[in-house]
Amino acid sequence: MKCIINRRAQFSASHRYWLPERSEAENLEWFGPCTRSPGHGHNYILYVSMEGDLDEYGMVLNLSDVKHVIKQEVTSQLDFSYLNEVWPEFQQTLPTTENVARVIWQRLAPHLPLVRIQLFESPELWADYYGDDMEAYLTISTHFSAAHRLARPDLSFEENCEIYGKCARPNGHGHNYHLEVTIKGQMDPRTGMIADLVAFQKAVDEYVVEPFDHTFLNKDIPYFMEVVPTAENIAVHIRDLLQQPIREIGAELYKVKLIESPNNSCEVYGVQPVEPTWVKSDREPVLASR
């Protein structure tokens, strides 16, 4: 029986985004504050995912052996290092989050049956790499606060209460929404980036966070004057809002995850825009947990 196991590790390191073949002005335009010398640092969190068959002892791999390999091949070399200089790979391609994940895969692949490398540069930024050449996934997380009411306009108050319970109360209720947006793309062989991180963050802020934050979604966001702002419909709308802006920065929108509360979240993937779920009889594919 196949099983995936995950091992967590961590290291602290610094890096700098700077290309010597570009002028100072060009570097500043591309990388902003990340060009500052001698660099800046992060507490990186690394998750190594491996797949295999269970052995007679009920294990895929001996985790003590896995820990030793990760330490020997990765963390002992990267911890308290300057990434630009510690490995030759980072002199050719800058040590962005996504590229560090890629190179860690290359270092571990001869020793472990990898299926994913996930690297957190911070709780708000992380990359996933699956061993597919220069393709990677980059996620940023953010938040907004908003109120909503769950009620279909074509149903009576009693009918809405039967469907949505307390969420149908006339004056609504609020959430601190946590939003994760994941893009997919090919890393530039020199910059190591899927897309301009500043432009990525700006797109999410401009099209979602600023318009949605501190609003009553049903009244302040035109789309939700006619569409019930369930977590699923909000996530679908966010996905549709971000499709074109993400394409414009040279990447593909892969996933939107919206966490409404610790007990309620949903994920939608970057497919074409669709009608809201209550308008059509066939529901939009949504992964939800309540």
* pLDDT value at 258 more than 70: yes
- Comparing CA positions, the residue from 254, 257, 42, 241 lying closest to residue 137 is 254
| Residue 260 appears among annotated catalytic residues | yes
Catalytic residue among 51, 89, 135, 167: 167
Is residue 161 flagged as an active site residue?
A: no
Please pick, among 40, 68, 173, 214, the residue that the annotation labels catalytic.
214
Of all helices (H) and strands (E), which one includes residue 2?
strand 2-15
Token digits for 263? 């007990």
Indicate which residue of 73, 121, 180, 260 is catalytic.
260
CATH superfamily of 1-131: 6-pyruvoyl tetrahydropterin synthase/QueD (3.30.479.10)
Does the annotation mark 214 as catalytic? yes
Whole-number pLDDT of residue 1? 80
For the entire predicted model, the pTM comes to: 0.91
Instruction: Tell the CATH topology of 132-290.
Output: Tetrahydropterin Synthase; Chain A (3.30.479)
Q: Which of 79-88, 168-177, 280-289 has the lowest mean pLDDT?
A: 280-289
Tell me the three state secondary structure of residue 129: strand
Model confidence at 275: pLDDT above 70? no
What does the alpha-carbon distance between residue 136 and residue 197 come to, in Å, rounded to a whole number? 14
Q: Where in the chain is the domain with CATH 3.30.479.10?
A: 1-131, 132-290
Region 241-254: mean pLDDT is 97
